[in-house]
Amino acid sequence: MILNLDIINFLFLVPLIIIGLICSYTDIKHGKILNKVIVFGFLYIFLLYLFIFLKNQENYNVIMATANGIIAFAVGYLIWNFKLWSAGDAKLFAIFAFLIPLSFYSKSYIHYFPAFNI
């Protein structure tokens, strides 16, 4: 069974918006991004990528999306390590990199790290 690309984008964008709204609210109201929201995001990402990989979706490149997210996580860690970001912002950057579909990075010049556009 091959899923429609619009359904796959929906599965990525709805939790992206929800996580973004929750994290924005808690960051503005309390000055922190809750780890339970971050853990939920990473768990959702893992299950979604596993589902897409097992369904053998030729129209979505899971390997490229995973590489993009892992590089974003490493870059976020480095930026946090140099004290330029808080830890919550670095983790949220990685979640956003995992959840923004690769087709949304049109005309990205960095092949393996299109999330650099964020």
Tens-digit pLDDT string for the chain (118 aa): 455 667 888 888 999 999 999 999 999 999 999 999 999 999 999 999 888 888 876 667 788 888 888 988 999 999 999 999 999 999 999 999 899 887 776 665 565 566 665 6
pLDDT at 103: 73
CA pair distance 83, 18, nearest whole angstrom: 27
- The 10s digit of each residue's pLDDT in 29-57 is 999 999 999 999 999 999 998 888 888 76
Phi, psi of 84 (to 5 degrees): -95, -20
- HSE (side-chain half, CA atoms, 13 Å) at 82: 6
What pTM was estimated for this model as a whole? 0.81
List C-alpha distances in Å: 4 to 56, 59, 68, 111, 118. 13, 9, 22, 24, 26
CB 69 within 8 A of CB 112: no
CB 38 within 8 A of CB 15: no
